[in-house]
Amino acid sequence: MSPAVSDQNRSATDGDERSRPTEDEQPRSAGSGSEGLRYLLVLSRPRFWLYLAGPVAVGVTYGIDAVSGLFTPVTVALALYFLVPANVFLYGVNDVFDADIDELNPKKEGREARWRGSRPVVAAVVASGLLGLATLAITPRVAWPYLLGFLVLAVGYSAPPARFKTTPFLDSLSNGLYALPGAAAYATVAGTHPPLAALAGAWLWTMGMHTFSAIPDIEPDRAAGIDTTATVLGEGRTYAYCFAAWTAAAAGFWLVDFRLGLLLGVYPIFVAWVARSSVSVDRAYWWFPALNTVVGTLLSMGGLWRVYPLWEALP
């Protein structure tokens, strides 16, 4: 979402017969039992799980003032919710309202599956949303705007009447939902709102991620009559938009700590390299989970070193 959510409209330009799944790769139905669970796993996009759970880890490490606050019942509960159930909810809502579009999307025959709305699956999606509301019972009020904001945007991105994903620039802006789990986690453990510069930086980062991921979809989206930030700007200006968003994100984090700004500076460098190189943007897009994992890990380690310096961990 987001980076991950805008992936819903991607045309599998390299998804030829080599990527066509076997019977073992894609469930035939989403009924009860193991096939239903398997389908829910595919629906939740495991390769993107850390896009929601990772910010929780970052938020916790920067919000705590002692190592003892790292693993508590509340922080573990938030991490577990945003690792799987939140993804079931986010992508389940997306797939429900994209069912007609996805019928013609060859990508749904590969890494993802077309919507199979059996009652158990619908119940699992609804339950995942209700579980998100339940997090309000274990978190302080200062975290509630971020938790509720996530749930509202998760629905509004895909569902009418808002359906932000089909409104240029609002599709990009609404993907700030990926920054909200981290803000909620920070507020939960710190008891206060995260620094405004960090929140703005994280939101801008998600905007760049979402729009970059939409570049391979420009022509398929235009053919389908779908308007997005990328279809309005075109490929060249979309690269420039992403570069600007990620540069602004790095600047926001720089205001918090210049080392954070330097780390986030990898993203504008990356998009500039993709724009000027012969590397296919379709190929580069699938490198992002790895890039984000590395950056997120370094961010989290930086937060931990505030309360447990590296030299204390060395023998």
Q: Give residue-wise pLDDT tens across range 110-130.
A: 555 555 667 778 888 999 999
Whether residue 145 is preceded by a cis peptide bond, meaning omega within 30 degrees of 0, is: no
Of 297, 300, 302, 247, nearest to 270 by C-alpha is 247
Please state, in angstroms and rounded to a whole number, the distance separating the CA atoms of residues 66 and 116.
Answer: 46
Of 30, 127, 23, 47, nearest to 85 by C-alpha is 127
Tokens of 108: 């749904």
Q: Taking the mean position of all CA atoms in its chain, how far away is CA 23? A: 28
Handedness of CA 15, 19, 21, 27 (dihedral sign): negative
Helix segments in 116-265, DSSP class H: 119-134, 144-156, 170-173, 180-190, 196-213, 218-224, 229-256, 258-264
Are the CB atoms for 84 and 49 separated by under 8 Å? Answer: yes
pTM of the model: 0.83
What pLDDT is stored for residue 308 in this prediction? 80
The DSSP 8-state label assigned to residue 20 in this structure reads -
What pLDDT is stored for residue 47 in this prediction? 82
What pLDDT is stored for residue 26 in this prediction? 43
Please state, in angstroms and rounded to a whole number, the distance separating the CA atoms of residues 135 and 74.
Answer: 9
Tokens of 14: 């390299």
Please state, in angstroms and rounded to a whole number, the distance separating the CA atoms of residues 89 and 107.
Answer: 21
What pLDDT is stored for residue 309 in this prediction? 77
Are the CB atoms for 29 and 118 separated by under 8 Å? Answer: yes
Tally of CB atoms within 10 A around 196? 11
Please state, in angstroms and rounded to a whole number, the distance separating the CA atoms of residues 308 and 223.
Answer: 53
The DSSP 8-state label assigned to residue 191 in this structure reads S
Q: pLDDT (tens digit, 9 = 90+) per residue, 237-248?
A: 999 999 999 999
Segments in the chain below pLDDT 70: 1-36, 99-117, 310-315
Collapsing DSSP to helix, strand or coil, 252 comes out as helix
What pLDDT is stored for residue 14 in this prediction? 41
Tokens of 57: 């880890």
Q: At what angle do helices 73-83 and 180-190 cross, to 10 degrees?
A: 170
